[in-house]
Amino acid sequence: MFEGRAAIGYDHGYDAQRFYLGLALDPKYIEGFVEGCLERIGEDESEDEDLFRALWEDEGERETVLAILQTECEVLPADPKTISLVSPKPLTPRAVNG
């Protein structure tokens, strides 16, 4: 279950396909964003999801994976103060739309 910035990151990676540079230094946002992207990718290409998950687990590949996932999204500058820190409800993987 994701809450706070992790939930926002998940929603941005899964539904919105947006990445906010203003939140890029928040590990919870990154964790949620990557998980949301991987869930979205896995719906169409489970092998690609598995590959990216394996790469993400390798600390040395995290920047590369994040850069690849960002290419599928709109990358926007943002002041973290302008993005709500509270999600309307806690989010769980694959339950974002419902």
pLDDT tens, 37-56? 999 999 999 999 999 999 99
| Number of folded domains that form the chain | 1
Give the whole-angstrom CA distance, residue 45 versus residue 34.
Answer: 16
Who wins on pLDDT, 67 or 83?
67
Q: Within a domain: residue 69?
A: yes
Which residues, including other chains, have CB under 8 Å from residue 74's CB and lie 6 or more apart? Answer: 17, 18, 19
**Under a CB-based contact definition with an 8 Å cutoff, are residues 83 and 22 in contact?**
yes
Q: Within a domain: residue 98?
A: no
Average pLDDT, the chain: 83
Q: Within a domain: residue 91?
A: no
Domain that holds residue 8: 4-76
Q: Within a domain: residue 57?
A: yes
What pTM was estimated for this model as a whole? 0.78
pLDDT range class, residue 9, cuts 50, 70, 90: confident
Q: Within a domain: residue 18?
A: yes
Residue 89 has pLDDT above 70, yes or no: no
